[in-house]
Amino acid sequence: MRFASFITASAFALSLAACNESAPAAPAPDPAIAAAATETAVTEALAKRDAEAIALHADAGPAVYFVNLRDGMTVPQSFRVVFGAYGIGVAPALVDKPNTGHHHLLIDTEMSAEEMQFAIPNDAQHMHFGGGQTEVVLQLGPGQHTLQLAFGDMNHELHKPTHIMSQKITLTVQ
């Protein structure tokens, strides 16, 4: 949500730039009409951004998300992944404190309904950050890969009854 407004604003800026670059030798538009259209577009874009910001601030969590990655991004074979959490605290595994937990990163996999009932597997596709870490540098081969965050409790199990998992994003590694 937070980044949708950024994308919208960027797309808007790009579309403006595209218009300017590709101006053909057509009759010049009425500057007053063009200015009004631009103002309307800007007003609408700002209203959309504000609506998204209001929705974001109304979301008290708990939620986890990728701070520095978006779905569809292209990244190098070595890249940093930063984990975000709000509405819940980050603590090392085995620390018995309410409303805390630690991050898990799922790589090219997703958890089955059965896996969601037990401790999160611990293997190359399920990384545990039981020290309370909030980032990692990953090394992945070229091609498409998926990443998803799963927040676990002190015993490495998903929080119940509500699971706290990020959107599953797809990256292109080159």
| Burial (CB count <10 Å: 0-12, 13-18, 19+), residue 114 | exposed
Given the DSSP bridges, would you call strands 169-173 and 74-75 parallel, antiparallel or unpaired?
Answer: parallel
CB of residue 129 to Cu ion, shortest distance in Å = 7
Interacting span for Cu ion (CB under 5 A) from 49-57, 77-85, 131-139, 156-164: 156-164
State how far the Cα of 19 lies from the Cα of 144, in Å rounded to an integer: 33
Interacting span for Cu ion (CB under 5 A) from 5-13, 14-22, 47-55, 145-153: 145-153
Q: Rule CB under 5 A: choose which of 66, 81, 101, 128 binds Cu ion.
A: 128
Q: Rule CB under 5 A: choose which of 91, 156, 158, 173 binds Cu ion.
A: 156
Residue 152 in contact with Cu ion, rule: CB under 5 A: yes
Residue 101 in contact with Cu ion, rule: CB under 5 A: no
* CA angle in degrees (0–180, nearest 5) for 169-130-77: 40
Nearer to Cu ion, 102 or 173 (CB): 102
| Burial (CB count <10 Å: 0-12, 13-18, 19+), residue 149 | buried
User: Which positions lie near Cu ion, rule CB under 5 A?
Assistant: 128, 130, 152, 156
